[in-house]
Amino acid sequence: MNSQVFRIQRSLKKLDSSNIFQGIVIAVIILSALLIGAKTHDLPPQAFALLSALDVGVTVFFVIEIVIRYLAFPEKKKFFKSGWNIFDTVIVIGSLIPTGGSGVLLARLLRVFRVLRLVSMVPELRILINALLKAIPRMGYIGLLMFVIFYIYAAIGSILFNQINEVLWGDLSISMLTLFRVATFEDWTDVMYETMAVHPMSWIYYLSFIFLTAFIFLNMMVGTVLEVMGQEHENFRAQAHGETAEGGEPASRAQIDKLERELAEIKALLKQKV
């Protein structure tokens, strides 16, 4: 009995990991996205009925796919320890809510989120999302420092330029919105030339602010994301090659290079002894 269950589980795992099945799942996800977009148009009743039937078919396919993935998973208790598995399960269960009745809005919204399943199915997209989530804490400190700079410059701008244009520099909060406009280069020269007519040296205020926010802090955020993304790519490559460090975590490139150097040194010592 156990051997039969093992064979079934192995067959399901082989099916779940096959490129053909993964391609079919991705195609169905894209079809689901097209169905959502098509339903936003004014269609005849026959076409709408056909789209509804296709939507039911897509929902049934997603249920079957998540069941296959669960049955193919070696350790069932660890299936929901993966955030992606939890995400896919919630989306699939939410798709089972009927579109009629009082939950029509919630059902439609959950069907829109089915498109996000494409992220969980494509490894490259998972790497991007994981890198973004891991970079958020570091980006938070950069964002906090940017807020301090915004606050200081907004206070200075409100003091210096309040009499020139109260709409743009009336108080601290309005000044911060104006500085956000300057930082995003949205007609910022008009704001600068208006204050330069009264304070000719006010260009220093704007250029120094743009240099700090647009050139330094934003590049710091980009660098942080790229650094974490490089680490995620390294972990993915290590997992793909079965390289693990102590504690079961994927080995980094530096750890692998260190092990290779140590092996080379051991080989050299053995040759000397021989």
Q: Which of 45-49, 79-83, 164-168, 255-259 is predicted most confidently? A: 164-168
For residue 59, the model assigns a pLDDT of 85
Which of the two residues, 147 and 105, has the higher pLDDT score? 147
Angle at 58 between CA 55 and CA 62, to 5 degrees: 140
Beta-carbon count within 10 A of 195 CB: 21
Is pTM, for the whole model, over 0.85? no
SS (H, E, C) 70-133: HHHCCCHHHHHHCHHHHHHHHHHHHHCCCCCHHHHHHHHHHHHHHHHHHHHHCHHHHHHHHHHH
DSSP annotation of 250 reads B
Q: Is 56 helix (H, G, I), strand (E, B) or coil?
A: helix
Average pLDDT of the segment spanning 81-85? 78
Residues 182 and 209: beta-carbon distance below 8 Å: yes
Average pLDDT of the segment spanning 125-138? 81
R_g of the chain, CA atoms, integer Å:
28
Largest interatomic CA distance in the chain: 89
Q: What six digits make up the tokens of 248?
A: 């079961």
Q: What six digits make up the tokens of 245?
A: 């460090």
Q: What is the pLDDT of residues 198-237, one digit of tens each?
A: 999 999 999 999 998 888 888 888 888 888 888 777 777 7
For residue 192, the model assigns a pLDDT of 92
Which of the two residues, 59 and 98, has the higher pLDDT score? 59
- Mean pLDDT computed over every residue of the chain: 80
In the predicted structure, residue 257 carries a pLDDT above the cut 70: no
Q: Is 185 helix (H, G, I), strand (E, B) or coil?
A: coil
In the predicted structure, residue 146 carries a pLDDT above the cut 50: yes
Residues 6+ apart with CB under 8 A from 153: 175, 179, 205, 209
Of the ranges 6-10, 184-188, 217-221, 245-249, which one carries the lowest mean pLDDT score?
245-249
Amino acid letter, residue 128: L
For residue 176, the model assigns a pLDDT of 92
Q: What six digits make up the tokens of 75?
A: 């350790």
For residue 44, the model assigns a pLDDT of 85
Average pLDDT of the segment spanning 71-82? 78
Average pLDDT of the segment spanning 66-73? 84
Q: What six digits make up the tokens of 250?
A: 């994927």
Average pLDDT of the segment spanning 175-202? 90
Q: What is the pLDDT of residues 6-60, one digit of tens each?
A: 777 788 788 877 888 888 888 888 888 888 788 777 878 888 888 888 888 888 8
DSSP annotation of 242 reads T
Average pLDDT of the segment spanning 65-81? 81
Helix (H) or strand (E) segment spanning residue 17: helix 2-17
For residue 179, the model assigns a pLDDT of 92
Residues 135 and 225: beta-carbon distance below 8 Å: yes
What's the pLDDT band for 106 if we cut at 50, 70, 90? low
